[in-house]
Each structure stands twice: as C-alpha cells, then as structure tokens.
Amino acid sequence: MADKRYIVVEGPIGVGKTSLVEMLGEEFGSRVVLEKVTENPFLPRFYSNPMAFAFQTQMFFLLSRYQQQRELAQQELFSQSLVCDYLFAKDRIFASVNLDEDELILYQQIYSLLDQRIPKPDLVIYLQSPTEVLQQRIRMRGRSYERDISREYIEAVNEAYNRFFFNYDETPLLIINTSEVDFVRRPEDFQDLVREIRRMKKGVQFYVPLGSA
C-alpha cells in the first residue's frame, strides 16, 4: 500500500462502490472518503424530471466534489492514505449523459478550470456490472430518491462509464467485472483482490477472480 496512498473505487450507480471502499479502508488502515450524494437538494427532482433539473443537479455535484477534493489535497494526502468512492472525472461521465449540447459546453468550460487543481489517485479500481444487476441492487437498497430511475437511464450511465474507462489512461487502472465476485460475502474473493492491488503497477489490468484463472 505504500506506493498507493490514494485509491479510488469507481463504477455506475448500484455497482457496490461504498461497500468495497469501506472494506479496503479497514484492510489498509486508510481514511475512507465517501461522496456526499444525499446533500444534493436537486437529486430527487432530477430523477422525477431529468430535463428540468439536470444542469442544477450536475453543477451542485461538480462544485461539491471539487470542494471535497481540494480539502483532501490540502489536509490529508501527505499524512494519511485514502480510499475514496468516486473519481473527480466521474462528473464528466454524468454530464455527458444528462446535459444538452449548450449546457455541456458551459459545463466543460467550468470543469476544465477546476480539474487542473485536483490531485490524481495512485490507483483507480473500476467496477463493472450488467445493467440488469445494477437495477436489482438499486431496488434492494431502497433509497426513496432512486425509485424513479428508469432502466434506460441506468443503461445510458453504464454505457458512458464503459466508454470513459475504455479510453482512460491518467492513472493505473484495475478493471473488475463484479458479476463473478462477491467481496462482501466471500472473504477469499476480497483477500485475492487485496493481493492484486498490492501487485498492481502501471497501465491497465483486468482482475481475474480467484479460481477462474
């Protein structure tokens, strides 16, 4: 872990980021940093009426994520290892799905100014899952503001994530298809992942689950 002081776990809605982040934080003795999703006052309205509230929702997330990341850069990165449940660049993924052309041009101008001041992680772990599985997990966790999320929206977000990480090269990247693993219920899966993280160097690697290599 010494060379990976800042790990980010990413993936679409419902893929299981928070659970894995908390487990990795405990394993490595790292501070866990979670996105403040529920603090966005526009989010419930966005899921009910995406066209009317997309820009407000996206800008609130962009500025909230920026503020949190700047605080981390100033206070924590050189004193304590971190495991975070979002990559700052995820904001661009959702913006590409949610905003119309004119809104996206304005958004990108603001984003480019902010992104220059954000620290880059030492490792990004990208969790993949089929849309049907994401839908199931979203229903199971039962968050009231997520009841209005359509299958089409989940599919669009899932595809946008895959496109983004297909071209991602800013940091080392470990890609995991979560259909084949259960880090919460199978301790051997989690410990195998921990070994993979410790071995991870540069470039892109695909995690091969224990027993399927």
> Six-digit token pair at 122?
């030492």
Which three-class secondary structure state does DSSP give residue 59?
helix
CATH of 6-206, one of 3.40.1190.10, 3.40.50.300, 3.90.340.10, 3.30.390.30: 3.40.50.300
Write the pLDDT tens digit of every residue in 15-60. 989 999 999 999 999 989 998 888 899 998 998 898 999 999 999 9
> Six-digit token pair at 34?
């979670």
Query: Is residue 85's pLDDT more than 70?
Result: yes
Read off φ and ψ for residue 71, nearest 5 degrees: -65, -40
Number of helical H runs and strand E runs in the chain: 8, 6
* Greater model confidence, 79 or 202: 202
> Six-digit token pair at 123?
């490792």
The residue type at 7:
I
List strands edge to edge, sheet with 173-177. 31-33, 82-84, 6-10, 123-128, 173-177, 204-206
What is the maximal distance between C-alpha atoms in the chain? 49
pLDDT band at 75 (very low <50, low <70, confident <90, very high): low
- 122-146 mean pLDDT: 88
Query: Is residue 73's pLDDT more than 90?
Result: no
